Amino acid sequence: MRTRLAAGTAVLLVLTLAAPASAAGPLKHNTTRWVGSAVAAQHLAAEADYRKVLTREFDSVTPENEMKWGTVEAVRGQYDWSGADAIVAYAGKTGKSIRGHTLLWHSQLPDWVGGLEAAELRGVVREHIAVEAGRFRGKIRAWDVVNEAFNEDGTRRQTVFQTKLGDGYIADAFRWAHAADPKAKLYINDYNVEGLNAKSDATYELVKSLRRQGVPIHGVGIQAHLSLMYGFPEGVRENIARFAALGVDVAITEADVRIPLPVTPEKLASQADYFGRVWDACHAVKRCVEFTTWGFTDRHSWVPDVFPGEGAACLFDENLRPKPAYHRLNRHR
């Protein structure tokens, strides 16, 4: 997968070498929103240049995998907090806010969870949320409590939680998370809900229903994994605004823009436009409080491994040089 990414590196290097090292200063200084990136503990520990750019540019971090259930409790009752603790410690030392990701997700789930019967599963889910959110109580600004609960057509995704616990599992998860950490902002998070469509409609109706029930849900996370192979989503600003009108915050939680390889100047310009339109839509709505990217450097992007033939999805290239998309976001506001 990495060899595919390398195909566009030469062009990318020429373009980024011609750009100044920074535009209007660190990105975090050019917005009133939290501006963050997903991070990996291993890169923080091993790569000084990665750590330097992250520390300089962002004021929020999201553990990429270190807080997922399959990482922290792969074997029932045996916990591994090493990666999560390392990121929390880094954030504390550098004054970063933390977005916790994620308490409940059907993917990267320990195998042992799927085999539980409904009654036991309910207790295990409650315990997992209590243990993890409780461990970091007071240290996490916001949690993605439930991740990717809907199909593209707006129906409930038939996860182990949905099929065995029913529709009420989402409300329960938020109540349990709030009990474990009352000060954390609690979000539902999903992809392909950037614009107005069946999936974002279903998310909107769920949030409205949960709010009416008094469930402690405080925000909607919009992942914003975009690709130049598809048109820019319709109605992004209107979608953010309608969620905010429900009385919740909105966060861009996992933004990146995939480029069909090889990279060209025209594709980088289009990528910058996509990033910029999401950034502007967020800044147009007061309650859009965060803009986080899913990684900040192409050196460690997940994209080439998951989407063959696509890559170069981040704000910085493999050598940590800012790309046109970075300069688009960091221009004077």
Q: How far apart are CA 90 and CA 298, in angstroms?
A: 22
Give the model's pLDDT for residue 333: 53
Report whether pLDDT(157) > 50: yes
Active site residue 290: no
Task: Give the E-state strand segments of the chain in sequence order.
Answer: 34-39, 60-63, 97-105, 142-147, 185-190, 219-222, 225-227, 249-260, 288-293, 310-311
Which domains are assigned to the chain?
2-329 (3.20.20.80)
Q: Are 331 and 23 in contact (CB under 8 A)?
A: yes
Give me the DSSP letters along 30-48.
G-SSEEEEEE-HHHHHH-H
Q: State which amino acid sits at residue 162.
A: Q
Interacting residues of 43 by C-beta distance below 8 A, sequence separation 6+: 50, 51, 300
Active site residue 205: no
Report whether pLDDT(8) > 60: no
Helix, strand, coil proportions of the chain in percent (round to 5)?
45, 20, 35
Give me the DSSP letters along 47-79.
-HHHHHHHHHH-SEEEESSTTSHHHH-SBTTB-
Q: How far apart are CA 37 and CA 177, in angstroms?
A: 23
- At 6, the pLDDT band (50, 70, 90 cuts) reads very low
Catalytic annotation, pick one of 57, 64, 148, 194: 148
Percentage of the chain modeled with pLDDT above 90: 92
Question: Is the N-terminal amide bond of 262 cis, ω within 30° of 0?
Answer: yes
Give the model's pLDDT for residue 7: 34
Give the model's pLDDT for residue 2: 29
Question: Tens digits of per-residue pLDDT, 80-121?
Answer: 999 999 999 999 999 999 999 999 999 999 999 999 999 999
Residue 142's DSSP bridge partners are 99, 185
Question: Tens digits of per-residue pLDDT, 253-285?
Answer: 999 999 999 999 999 999 999 999 999 999 999
Report whether pLDDT(173) > 90: yes
Locate 259 and state its tokens: 């480029």
Percentage of the chain modeled with pLDDT above 70: 92
Give the model's pLDDT for residue 14: 39
Report whether pLDDT(17) > 50: no
Q: How far apart are CA 271 and CA 267, in angstroms?
A: 6
Catalytic annotation, pick one of 254, 290, 310, 318: 254
- Is residue 314 classed as helix, strand or coil in its secondary structure? coil
> Which candidate, 56, 21, 16, places its Cα nearest to that of 37?
56
Give the model's pLDDT for residue 4: 31
Give the model's pLDDT for residue 24: 61
- At 22, the pLDDT band (50, 70, 90 cuts) reads very low
Question: Tens digits of per-residue pLDDT, 177-229?
Answer: 999 999 999 999 999 999 999 999 999 999 999 999 999 999 999 999 999 99
Interacting residues of 4 by C-beta distance below 8 A, sequence separation 6+: 261, 304, 308, 309, 311
The predicted model scores a pTM of 0.93
